[in-house]
Structure 1
Amino acid sequence: MTFVIGENVVVGEAVSFGECVNIGNNVTIYAGTKIGDNVIIQDNAVIGKQPTRAKASILPDVKELLPTKIGSGVTVGTSAIIYANAEIGDDVFIADLATVRERVTIGEKTIVGRGVAVENDCKIGEGCKLETNCYITAYSELGDYVFIAPCVVTTNDNFMGRSKERYDHLGGIVVKNGGRIGANVTVLPGITIHEDGTVAAGSIVSRDVEKECLVVGSPAKRIRKVPSEQLLRNQ
């Protein structure tokens, strides 16, 4: 077993490591975390952090979440934070300053870019690309090979924090296999982007996007089918 560990590293009780793990300086790994083979954890990263609930939060008060699981071949960038009860698949790349919240699953070979925030209770599929500074709101589900461009914003609260009615309607977005969202897009709560649905840059998505269709504008409207050479099945 090759194990490299930097300075000022804090490792909690019952943390397990695979072979060929490389840990940078000032890393904190909380109790019970499971780390696979050939994992790189860079400086100042935090793994397995228990969430702190704000007094005004609508989330349930959970006393102690299960430990984090990090698959083999994973890279965790500088100052990235992965919360407790997250499950990171094999060969996932999590870039610098990214945040992955509690109860999130990320499928193998997915890239989580610099500064990306994946909020609680999200499911991210395999082979996805979440590019710099995009925001994946809580309770969202992304299928396999989904592309999210830089600075995309997804939302889950149509009531913008007002009225108790919002508790009955709170919900993230769904992007099915091969869905793609261009830069600076805003997606409203509860939207589904169906298989190979594509949203042009700068659009505001206020209704579901049909399978293999391209939408553009504010609000986004269908303009044509996605070219066949761009469809996931033809890659």
Structure 2
Amino acid sequence: MLSIANRLLVRILLALSALYWRVIYSELRARYDVSPGFRFNGKNILLYGDGDIGLGENSYIGDNSTVHASSGFNVKIGVGCHISSNVRIFTESVKPDSDFRVKPVPAKAGDVTIADACWIGANVLINPGISIGENSVVGANSVVTRDIPPDEIWGGVPAKLIRKKRQ
């Protein structure tokens, strides 16, 4: 009998969790420019900041991912993009060569654009001011520190060209 009660409780909790995330994501859709066909593909996906965030049709972002747009900056994700889990996209960050003892710590900032039909692997960090060209791939566990041209595969820390796509 306990097993049946446990299974029922688990189903109820899963349904409540799904409802919770539907409410959270509907609030994000209302606040930012999220296309109706964009999918929040998991839990704990955070969009925040006073900047603009635009998420394209038939694209998705995986669980535990974060997109931040500082005031005056924007993040645009194109049509048909695959953004995996645990991806971080920021429009503002501190300058790593700064003296952190001096306040305020200088920041670098810039728009982030991911063009149509891109694939961003798991655990990728995309720094401020980056553009990723159409039909490009960023491999898992990469740190993107410079623009990526269209139709290329990049990976590593920092991300570097692996090869141009064979089409």
* TM-score computed with the length of structure 2 as normaliser: 0.72
> What SS is found at the alignment partner of 2:150?
coil
> What SS is found at the alignment partner of 2:58?
coil
Cross-structure match for 1:219: 158
> What SS is found at the alignment partner of 1:140?
strand
1:132 maps onto 2:63 in alignment: yes
Cross-structure match for 1:186: 125
1:111 maps onto 2:39 in alignment: yes
The structure whose RCO (Cα within 8 Å, separation 6+) is larger is 2
| Residue 119 of structure 1: how far off its partner (Å) | 2.0
Q: Percent sequence identity over matched residues?
A: 25
1:176 maps onto 2:115 in alignment: yes
Letter in 1 for 2:20: S
Can you give the 5+ residue segments of structure 1 that lack an aligned partner in the other structure?
Answer: 1-41, 45-76, 83-93, 229-235
| Residue 129 of structure 1: how far off its partner (Å) | 1.1
In structure 1, C-alpha distance between the alignment counterparts of 2:105 and 2:141, rounded to whole Å: 31
Cross-structure match for 1:163: 104
| Residue 103 of structure 1: how far off its partner (Å) | 3.8
Between the two proteins, the alignment pairs up a number of residues equal to 139
1:210 maps onto 2:129 in alignment: no
* TM-score computed with the length of structure 1 as normaliser: 0.52
Cross-structure match for 1:146: 81
Q: CA RMSD in A?
A: 2.6
User: 1:179-224 CA deviation, whole Å, 9 max, x = no partner?
Assistant: 1110001111110001011100001110001101000111111111
Asked if the contact 1:128/1:147 (under 8 Å) is kept, the reply is: yes
User: 1:67-112 CA deviation, whole Å, 9 max, x = no partner?
Assistant: xxxxxxxxxx422355xxxxxxxxxxx5xxx972774111132111
Letter in 2 for 1:78: L
